[in-house]
Amino acid sequence: MIKFALAGNPNCGKTTLFNALTGATAHVGNWPGVTVDKREGVYKKCAEPIAVLDLPGIYSLSPYTPEEVIARNYILDEKPDLIVNIVDATNLERNLYLTTQLMEIDVPMVVALNMMDAVEKNGDKIDAKTLEDKLAVPVVAISALKGTGIKELMNRAYAASKRKREGISVLGSSALSKPISDLTAALAKKQVDSPLFHAVKLVENDEIEIKNHPEEYKLVREYKSGFSDDVFGDDFEAIVADERYKYITKHFAQAFVRKDGEKVRLTKSDKADKVLTHRIWGIPIFLAIMFVVFHLTFSENFLFLAKALPEGWVSLEGTWAEGLFGSADGIASPGVILANLLNLITGSISGAVSGAMQGAAAEWATGLVCDGILGGLFAVLSFLPQILVLFMFFSILEDSGYMARVAFILDRIFRKFGLSGRAFMPMIMGFGCSIPAMINTRTLADEKERTATVRVIPFFSCGAKLPILTAIAGGIVQFFHVSNADAITYAMYIVGIVTAIVTVILMRSTTMRGETPPFIMELPSYHAPQAKALFIHLWDKLKHFVKKAFTIILVSTILIWFLSHFSFGWNFLPDEQMESSILAGLGKLVQPLFTPLGFGSQLGATGWVFVVAAITGLIAKENVIATFGVLAACLGFAYDGDADPNGVLAATIMIQATGITIPALISFIAFNMTTIPCFAAVATAKAELDKRSFKWTLVFWLVTSYTVGTIIYLVGSWWWTVFIFLAMIAAAIGGIIVYNKKRDAKKLSTEAPIK
């Protein structure tokens, strides 16, 4: 099969085109760096099927970030039959800079002028024909979003892929044409592929090329010694960049005709940025938007109307929809209504199943199906609506282009912690799922910043951890009659964020020392979110979640049920005798370890349930509450899983049975939030980090969660211990500062003699 590679600047629409070509549903977003890995699909509407490859966006073939290396290596090593260079027509000159480099490779190429609809909307014009004559490769105007021009693009690309093409350079008449042509000849003699491209890169002092062709690089050095430019001296890479841009402005930019002559206008995006990235208002606006998003998703008191409404009018008492749209506490927010609706459905299913099985099947079978399978599964599924709603809001914000601005306004704050604003994107993605978030750290150019970010991503509590928060918070409110469940949930999110900040500062001033990398980010134009892209996102998320619920979570709930209903001698145990089950035995073994965190030995005989729940969370975090559901039914309390879709009752039973205290419960949530994440996330971290730092990452997670849990439990139980911790923290800070000072002094004294 012939292969076409899609190459272009970040956020120029490669993935949108890829989806349009192959029918795939790859994630697209309106900020640079959504695609961080290559992806393959098949286009079938030509004479023969064509493999289409989506690559991460690149500004140049001299890579700066890890994801850019992926794109460069593919283009050079895998030798696609053709490169489709996608060019964002609204920023023509900058995009053509990459084009001038791609042109130097001996591979057929077509240019796809994307976002032509946006250009025309501005009243500007681009003459594709003029551009085609100047570039000497086919140029086709398309709109990947609307799907126009794609057929023509592929037909011309297919035809072009059948013809051989030799690289051409725009540097032919520049001051450096002599060394380039000499090197090209030398490399061609050595049978190197694309000699022109490698020659130019050598002249540009490209690190990778110098390593590969040390002999030829001597020639460049020789030439350099006898060369001087008025502006750039002997800085060849600057000269090359300058020459490229000059050539583009002189020859290619004529194809672009602005509506009102040369004047650059203040666009709508610029005007919006005046407000949204404002020095003072930027951050409050961001916080307000976040509050609205969470309010719409989780609030049981929508718009705080509870007090203003006559009592009882929304609860629809006595009808089938009782409590669906709200309760005495207020109107439910859209997210809560959806969750209630799903619970109504799952509740009636499990009611029907248990009704049918009661008496008709063996006791253990009824237990397995109703408590083990349905109880665990529905406990997990009941969070799906709210996770989807939250995800939808984030997708809208991302697609509009706002998230890139947030990265910018938060950069000033992140800098204080030793990170750049770029790290914001993976972190906010962490609230959805740690896995894509960890992969996305590839947009960070600095290795140490990247490792530190991967490590703290799990602290940004993901969708699967949400059930732990809401169920236990609900349990606390119901059992102890204190506080407000929403408040506890929000507070736990903040505990996670604070833990992340503290550990980042700690890492950046000890093991992950280094200068804060510079923040350089393109801000895309705002545009209205695309309904189609949004639904594709949501559908993918839904599929992922349901698949997980019916595979790994289903298997583990069944496993937990078996382990908790059989003794080591393989005898079936009724619920009351769970104390002697295999699971209880294993749990009791490790239980003492958690004593400082408040859910260890002090809980007595039934305390192992918390330990077991935390351990099952290592498989998938949803399991923690699913395990509660399974175990609650077994602890000798009357437990009806159907009436308890959110696991609140299960948590309450756990509290009642074990006598656990509030600080210990909070410590339990914090431990689960900050400890080793689920298997899938651990595997991702392993793939993204080098071996050594991965091992330390596991240690880091364990130590952090154990410490955070201990501090919360001890301070919560005996408030005066706060002084002990403060003293310890002060000592640690002092120690680090002194150590770093000494280290800097040492460094200076060793560096001084060289100067």
Partner 1 sequence: MPMVLAPEFKKLLITRIFADEKLKRHLENLGLSVNSEIEVLSKSGGSVICRVKDGRLALDKQMATKIFVTVKED
Residue 582: CB minimum distance to partner 1, A: 56
Phi-psi region of 284 (alpha: psi -120 to 50; beta: other; left: phi over 0): alpha
Q: Which stretch binds partner 1 (CB under 8 A): 172-180, 263-271, 462-470, 566-574?
A: 263-271
Closest approach, Cβ 87 to partner 1, in A, equals 12
For residue 500, the tally of other CB atoms under 10 A from its CB is 23
Please report, as residue ranges, which positions from 83 to 142 form the binding site for partner 1 (by CB under 8 A).
Answer: 90-94, 97
User: Do residues 153 and 43 touch, judged by C-beta distance below 8 A?
Assistant: no
Which range touches partner 1 (CB under 8 A), out of 297-305, 448-456, 515-523, 650-658? 515-523
Q: To the nearest whole angstrom, how small is the minimum distance from the Cβ of residue 232 to partner 1?
A: 7
Give the residue with the Cβ less far from partner 1, 73 or 602.
73
Report the nearest approach of partner 1 to the CB of residue 436 (Å): 23
Return all residues near 672 (Cβ < 8 A) that are at least 6 apart.
465, 468, 614, 617, 621, 624, 705
Minimum distance of partner 1 from residue 267's CB (angstroms)? 9
Q: With CB under 8 A, what is the number of residues at the site for partner 1?
A: 46
| Measured distance CA(629)–CA(436) in Å, rounded | 29
Answer for which of 1, 360, 520, 754 binds partner 1 (CB under 8 A) is 520
Decide if residue 268 touches partner 1 (CB under 8 A): no
Cβ neighbours for 52, distance < 8 A, ≥ 6 positions apart: 3, 4, 6, 18, 21, 22, 40, 41, 42, 43
Per CB under 8 A, the list member of 1, 47, 264, 482 interacting with partner 1 is 264
Residue ranges in 451-480 that form contacts with partner 1 under rule CB under 8 A: none
Query: Cβ–Cβ contacts within 10 Å for residue 2, how many?
Result: 14
Member of 120, 127, 152, 242 binding partner 1 (CB under 8 A): 242
- The one among 152, 193, 237, 640 contacting partner 1 by CB under 8 A: 237
Q: Are strands 326-327 and 330-331 parallel, antiparallel or unpaired?
A: antiparallel
CB distance 13 to 115 below 8 Å: yes
- Least Å distance between CB 9 and partner 1? 9
Structure token pair of residue 1 = 């099969």
| Binders in 342-381 for partner 1, by CB under 8 A | none
Q: Give min distance, CB of 753 to partner 1, in A.
A: 23
Q: How far is the CB of 88 from partner 1 (least distance, A)?
A: 8
What is the per-residue binding string for partner 1 in 194-213, x denoting contact by CB under 8 A?
A: ----------xx--------
DSSP class of residue 253 equals: G
Minimum distance of partner 1 from residue 247's CB (angstroms): 13
Q: How far apart are CA 665 and CA 488, in angstroms?
A: 11
Nearer to partner 1, 277 or 346 (CB): 277
Nearest to 298 by CA among 186, 188, 393: 393
Task: Identify which of residues 59 and 378 has a Cβ nearer to partner 1 in the complex.
Answer: 59
Residue from 231, 360, 528, 748 touching partner 1 (CB under 8 A): that is 231
Biggest CA–CA distance in the chain, Å, is: 97
Contact between 245 and partner 1 by CB under 8 A: the answer reads yes
Q: If we measure between CA atoms, which residue out of 449, 567, 467 comes closest to residue 513?
A: 449
Reported residue count of the chain is: 755
Q: d(Cα 96, Cα 7) in Å, to the nearest integer? A: 12
Name the residue nearer to partner 1 (CB basis): 127 or 579: 127
What distance in Å separates the CA atoms of residue 623 and residue 475, rounded to the nearest whole number?
A: 17
Beta-carbon contacts of residue 75 (< 8 Å; ≥ 6 apart): 5, 7, 55, 61, 83, 102, 105, 107
User: Should residue 443 be labelled a site residue for partner 1 when binding is judged by CB under 8 A?
Assistant: no
Q: Does 446 bind partner 1 (CB under 8 A)?
A: no
Which residues from 48-87 bind partner 1, rule CB under 8 A? 59-60, 62, 64
Of 16, 114, 184, 277, the residue at the interface with partner 1 (CB under 8 A) is: 277
447 binds partner 1 (CB under 8 A): no
Question: 3-class secondary structure for 159-184?
Answer: HHHCCCCCCCCCCCCCCCHHHHHHHH
For residue 273, state whether it binds partner 1 (rule: CB under 8 A): yes
Would you say 94 or 251 has its CB closer to partner 1?
94
Neighbours of 141 (CB within 10 A): 23
| DSSP letters for 260-319 | TTTPPP--HHHHHHHHHT-TTTHHHHHHHHHHHHHHHHH-SSGGG-GGGSPTTSSS-TTS
The interface region with partner 1, picked from 409-417, 485-493, 572-580, 662-670 by CB under 8 A, is 409-417
Which of 372, 421, 475, 496 is in the footprint of partner 1 by CB under 8 A?
421
- Of 170, 640, 687, 741, the residue nearest 442 (C-alpha): 687
Answer for which of 247, 294, 408, 639 binds partner 1 (CB under 8 A) is: 408
Interface residue with partner 1 among 145, 392, 409, 573 (CB under 8 A) is 409
At closest approach, how far in Å is the CB of 265 from partner 1?
Answer: 11
Contacting partner 1 (CB under 8 A), which of 282, 376, 467, 716? 282
DSSP bridge partners of 229 = 233
Query: Two tokens at 4?
Result: 């076409």
Question: Residue 274, interface with partner 1 (CB under 8 A)?
Answer: yes
Smallest distance from partner 1 to CB 450, Å: 15
**φ and ψ of 60, to 5 deg:** -160, 165
94 or 548: whose CB is closer to partner 1?
Answer: 94
Which residues of the shown chain bind partner 1 in the complex (CB under 8 A)?
Answer: 59-60, 62, 64, 90-94, 97, 204-205, 231-232, 237-238, 241-242, 245, 264, 269-270, 273-274, 277-279, 282, 404, 407-409, 411-412, 415, 420-421, 445, 516, 518-524
